[in-house]
A and B are shown apart, each in its own frame.
Chain A
Amino acid sequence: MSLSTDDVKKVARLARMKLTDAELEEHKAKLSGIISFVEQLSEVDTDNVEPLSSVVDIKLRLREDKVTDGDIVKDILKNAPEELEDFFAVPKVVE
């Protein structure tokens, strides 16, 4: 299956990546190739097959509900592009 420019534009928007028109066309060709490649899977009979989401047969562990970490605000903010009074700062969202 080949993707349209609008398909690629929509996916780029969903993935929050701004692409130029030239990039959209470049990606369109390569993404279409990859989608066609993976579509071979449609020939596999998977009736009555359970999806495999994890190869580990381990049940997720539970632990006691207690605080084991914390008080590391400075560490957490260390790599922030912008911070303000112990918070991450972002451009104004609500007018």
Chain B
Amino acid sequence: MTSNLTHQSLASALEGLEKGDFTSVELTQAHISAIEATRDLNAFITETPEIALKQAANSDERRASGKAGLLEGIPIAVKDLFCTKGVQTTAASHILEGFIPQYESTTTQNLWDDGAVMLGKVNLDQFAMGSANTTSYFGNVINPWKKRDGSNEQLVPGGSSGGSAASVAAYTSMAATGTDTGGSIRQPASFCGITGIKPTYGRCSRWGVVAFASSLDQPGAFARDVRDSALLLESMSGFDPKDSTSADMPVPHFAGALTGDIKGLKVGVPKEYRVDGMPEEIEKIWQQGIEWLKSAGAEIVDVSLPHTKYALPTYYIIAPAECSSNLARYDGVRYGLRVEGEDLTDSYEKTRAEGFGDEVKRRIMIGTYALSSGYYDAYYIKAQKVRRLISNDFTDAYKKCDVLLTPTAPSAAFVIGENDDDPIKMYLNDVFTVPSSLAGLPAMSVPAGLDKDGLPLGLQIIGRAWDEETVLRVGGVLETAAQFPFLNK
């Protein structure tokens, strides 16, 4: 019974709750037990079973009195980058260890208002900086997938939202929040064989989300299927006056977009995404995706995004620059770690040296360098100009097509430790996800198949700004065609 409760979709759990087949307390308890049984994955930084059971009991009462919200009674996991009132929020860093927010992020508040239940705070790369969840102060997250050769090698779940993806894939939550700055939702979704959507920049409020690179950061949703992602995203979305870049636009009923009908839809295939050294299997799954959409009635169009190869270098100026500015707030004065020094400056320097991990320090220093006197125009302004060219590439492509189809990542999940020695090698994981982040576009990863080792590969759908609905509709068609073999522990 317990695994029947966890191994179902969010949408079917909503039906079961409504029919009275089980209660939210039972559903929540099943997930709490699953979390306890899979602690070896290290997906959670903070488990909150007491809060979850209390919220579930309240939810059952609301449902009984006919006041069920969109996600009434559904247990979810929250990336430990969202501030949660009264619950430790660490950004997977030492500098914020023990930080207890006195306020709730708008995005998570939206979820609780809709009846969702919080199972806990999940692990991530420190300050969301990483692509393998190997930079967390609280240890690596383990991908629940294993190679089919029987080797017991531990694989990365991707990053930065690695805990979110691992938890959903391992059936320890029905869905999870994530944030995506350059691929932090889509790449882990691909590595863990689940769906993940980053909406248009401005769709979900950033208020109360620990900031990394503010012009790129965007909350989004993980779930095992496209419909569940749509439901979670709908709840998370909406205008927030507390975020100056939040869009004052109505939120569609995203799940309503899943009609399965893509006849006549123009799907663009960008030739620049055929990168050197890309494994044949990635190319194969991409071709397969193209065939699936064609069979469903879509028209395939060749398009060009000529500045694609400059997206990563652009990102690695802009994101660190914004990070160096955002992370200046961690000074050991108002919150977080303080290391005493000889004077105030010495205390700042020791606090930050001890509080930040290596990758975070690296990005702060790159950003500081790029913004420093004498280099600002050559690096930062230059990157902003190239960012416009990258954004214009998409505008031009969307004159010929409605949506783009690409691989999500250039590889499947790799062994923990691989790529750790060379930052550039690690950054290349995001080669297909960064361009749409720079342009602020909605994009989703859908699990499409397995590679020769039996590991998941995802395909990415990139849409026009504010057109999450077409992205989801195409995602639904891919999902139906792919019949992806979900992990079934």
- Residues of A bordering B, CB below 8 Å: 3, 7-8, 11-12, 14-19, 27, 30-31, 33-35, 37-42, 44, 46, 49-56, 58, 60-61, 63, 72, 75-76, 78-82, 88, 90-93
B484 contacts chain A at the CB level, 8 A cutoff: no
- Minimum CB–CB distance for A52 against chain B, Å: 4
Whether B352 pairs with A17 at a CB distance below 8 angstroms is: yes
Distance of A77 Cα from B310 Cα, bound (Å): 44
Q: Is the interface of A mostly helix, strand, loop or mixed?
A: loop
Question: 6 tightest CB-CB pairs across the interface, nearest first?
Answer: A55-B440, A51-B384, A79-B335, A81-B338, A52-B388, A46-B385
Whether A55 pairs with B423 at a CB distance below 8 angstroms is: no
Whether B317 pairs with A15 at a CB distance below 8 angstroms is: no
Distance of A33 Cα from B314 Cα, bound (Å): 15
B275 contacts chain A at the CB level, 8 A cutoff: no
Task: Tell whether A93 pairs with B343 under 8 Å between CB atoms, given A34-B362, A54-B245, A80-B335.
Answer: yes
Give the total number of A-B pairs whose CB atoms are below 8 A apart: 166
- Minimum CB–CB distance for A48 against chain B, Å: 9
Whether A58 pairs with B247 at a CB distance below 8 angstroms is: yes
Distance of A93 Cα from B346 Cα, bound (Å): 11
- Minimum CB–CB distance for B468 against chain A, Å: 15
Whether A35 pairs with B338 at a CB distance below 8 angstroms is: no
Whether A15 pairs with B352 at a CB distance below 8 angstroms is: yes
Whether A81 pairs with B245 at a CB distance below 8 angstroms is: no
Whether A37 pairs with B388 at a CB distance below 8 angstroms is: no
Distance of A40 Cα from B312 Cα, bound (Å): 10
- Residues of B bordering A, CB below 8 Å: 99-100, 102-103, 201-202, 215, 241, 244-245, 247-248, 307, 309-310, 312-314, 316-317, 324, 328, 331-338, 340-341, 343-350, 352-353, 356, 361-362, 364-366, 368-370, 372, 378-379, 381-389, 391, 422-424, 427, 438-440, 465
Residue of B nearest to A33 (CB): B424
Distance of A3 Cα from B317 Cα, bound (Å): 16
Question: Which chain B positions have C-beta within 8 A of A50?
Answer: 385, 388
Which listed residue (A18, A46, A58) contacts B202, Cβ 8 A? A58
Whether B384 pairs with A18 at a CB distance below 8 angstroms is: no
- Minimum CB–CB distance for B78 against chain A, Å: 19
- Minimum CB–CB distance for B197 against chain A, Å: 17
Question: Which chain A positions have C-beta within 8 A of B383?
Answer: 38, 41
Whether B348 pairs with A16 at a CB distance below 8 angstroms is: yes
Distance of A61 Cα from B372 Cα, bound (Å): 30
Question: Which chain A positions have C-beta within 8 A of B241?
Answer: 61, 63
Whether B100 pairs with A16 at a CB distance below 8 angstroms is: no
- 15 intermolecular pairs with C-beta atoms under 8 Å apart: A16-B348, A16-B352, A17-B361, A30-B362, A31-B365, A31-B369, A37-B316, A39-B313, A51-B387, A51-B388, A55-B440, A56-B201, A76-B102, A78-B102, A88-B334
Question: Which chain B positions have C-beta within 8 A of A34?
Answer: 316, 362, 366, 423-424
Whether A14 pairs with B368 at a CB distance below 8 angstroms is: yes
Distance of A30 Cα from B422 Cα, bound (Å): 8
Question: Which chain B positions have C-beta within 8 A of A78?
Answer: 100, 102
Question: Which chain A positions have C-beta within 8 A of B386?
Answer: 41, 44, 46, 49
Question: Which chain A positions have C-beta within 8 A of B338?
Answer: 81-82
Distance of A34 Cα from B387 Cα, bound (Å): 18
Question: Which chain B positions have C-beta within 8 A of A51?
Answer: 381, 384-385, 387-388
Question: Which chain A positions have C-beta within 8 A of B103?
Answer: 75
Residue of B nearest to A26 (CB): B358
Distance of A63 Cα from B242 Cα, bound (Å): 11
Question: Which chain A positions have C-beta within 8 A of B385?
Answer: 44, 46, 49-52
Question: Which chain B positions have C-beta within 8 A of A33?
Answer: 422-424
Distance of A72 Cα from B333 Cα, bound (Å): 18
Residue of B nearest to A38 (CB): B313
Which listed residue (A8, A58, A61, A81) contacts B365, Cβ 8 A? A8
Distance of A18 Cα from B310 Cα, bound (Å): 33
Which listed residue (A18, A35, A40, A55) contacts B369, Cβ 8 A? A35
Question: Which chain B positions have C-beta within 8 A of A12?
Answer: 365
Known A41-B383, A52-B385, A56-B440; further 7 A-B contacts with Cβ < 8 A: A8-B365, A17-B349, A18-B353, A34-B316, A46-B386, A55-B465, A88-B334
Distance of A27 Cα from B357 Cα, bound (Å): 12
Distance of A54 Cα from B423 Cα, bound (Å): 27
Whether B384 pairs with A75 at a CB distance below 8 angstroms is: no
Question: Which chain A positions have C-beta within 8 A of B353?
Answer: 17-19
Whether B99 pairs with A79 at a CB distance below 8 angstroms is: yes
Task: Tell whether A52 pairs with B244 under 8 Å between CB atoms, given A17-B349, A41-B313, A88-B333.
Answer: no
Distance of A8 Cα from B347 Cα, bound (Å): 20
Whether A56 pairs with B362 at a CB distance below 8 angstroms is: no
Residue of B nearest to A79 (CB): B335
Which listed residue (A49, A82, A88) contacts B389, Cβ 8 A? A49
Whether A11 pairs with B369 at a CB distance below 8 angstroms is: yes
Whether A11 pairs with B365 at a CB distance below 8 angstroms is: yes
- Minimum CB–CB distance for B216 against chain A, Å: 9
